[in-house]
Amino acid sequence: MIELKGLSKTYAVSGKIIKAVQPLDLTIQQGEFVSIVGHSGSGKSTFLSLIGGIARPDTGTVNIDGTNIWGYNDKMLSKLRNEKFGFVYQFASLIPTLNATENVLLPTVFGGGRKAADAANLLDLVGLGDKKDRYPSELSGGEQQRVAIARAFIHNPEIILADEPTGDLDEDTEAEIMNFFEKINRGKKVTMIMVTHSSEIALRAPSRFRMKQGVIEQLN
Ligand SMILES: Nc1ncnc2c1ncn2[C@@H]1O[C@H](COP(=O)(O)OP(=O)(O)OP(=O)(O)O)[C@@H](O)[C@H]1O
Ligand SMILES: [Mg+2]
């Protein structure tokens, strides 16, 4: 279970204060599938990075299974990020010198011992079974995004934080990826928090939220 209490974050840029995430309380149950829609700059990526132990909040707590992760030291925080979370970043983040399979295996370099077979299976599931040996420069933007999606699942994380995961995909591929998310969410009880610009994609998640100027509101 993820419990957010009084969580907020501001940025100061050249003397100006930007309230990226205004103080919020929110509880997300284990195995929940949550979508967050909102305009550009509304605070969605910042919100995900507060939950994921990436950006330190100004106020509030992120309790995961009863413990505030922001009370952890850097070492524990980094262990948590590597083990508990699977991240799909908003912008392509593949290592150019590694092929698709090696990129998918990247989160396991720091622990765990997943085999190439697991990477191959995930690449099949995201529709890239025939491109496992390709390097990022030999893949389209949407294909790179799908490698990044596969990578987020390689270490069987409990929580997936996906920032605009289908942004570069055509409708058919987008639908396939959403099916993949739903299947994993149901089958493995993985908690999924997905940010998207698309109201249509957001509807696929049973719990829906909107973010507006740093304020989050429940839609259903
Ligand atoms: N590192 C930073 N330093 C200063 N300001 C930042 C930083 N990151 C984000 N911001 C500002 O905080 C606000 C929220 O940004 P954020 O990236 O969370 O928005 P977003 O909803 O993810 O937008 P998008 O849909 O364009 O990705 C914006 O006004 C942005 O300019
Ligand atoms: Mg963003």
CA dist 24 and 50 (Å) reads 12
91 lines ligand 1 (CB under 6 A): no
What is the C-alpha separation between 162 and 122, in angstroms, rounded?
16
Mutation choice for ligand 1 from 22, 36, 45, CB with most ligand atoms inside 8 A: 45
Distance of alpha carbon 15 from the chain centroid? 31
15 three-class SS: coil
70-95 pLDDT, tens digit each: 999 999 999 999 899 999 987 778 99
Shortest-distance Cα residue to atom 17 of ligand 1: 45
State whether residue 216 is helix, strand or coil: strand
pLDDT range class, residue 195, cuts 50, 70, 90: very high
Q: Does the beta carbon of 54 lie inside 6 Å of ligand 1?
A: no
Distance in angstroms (rounded) separating the CA atoms of residues 100 and 196 = 24
Task: Render pLDDT for 169-191 as a digit per residue (tens, 0 to 9).
Answer: 899 889 989 999 998 898 878 99
Task: Report the C-alpha gap between 74 and 5 in whole angstroms.
Answer: 21
Any idea which residue has 């993985």 for tokens? 190
What distance in angstroms lies between residue 116's CA and the mean position of ligand 2's atoms?
Answer: 31
**Per-residue confidence (pLDDT) for residue 113, from 0 to 100:** 57
pLDDT computed for residue 71 by the predictor: 96
Average pLDDT estimate for 10-34: 95
pLDDT in tens, 108-123: 876 555 678 899 999 9
Q: CA-CA distance, 97 to 136, in Å (whole number)?
A: 8
Q: Which helix (H) or strand (E) holds 5?
A: strand 2-13
Residue 50, C-beta contacts closer than 8 angstroms, at least 6 positions apart: 4, 7, 9, 21, 56, 57, 62
62-66, 70-74, 108-112, 150-154, range with the lowest pLDDT: 108-112
The whole-number pLDDT of residue 111 equals 52
| Among candidate residues 4, 57, 61, 55, the one with its CA nearest the CA of residue 27 | 4
Residue 125's φ and ψ, nearest 5 degrees, are -65, -30
Q: Is 90 in the pocket of ligand 1 (CB under 6 A)?
A: yes
Is it the case that residue 107 has pLDDT exceeding 90? Answer: no
| Protein residue with its CA nearest to atom 5 in ligand 1 | 11
**Average pLDDT of the residues in 122-128:** 93
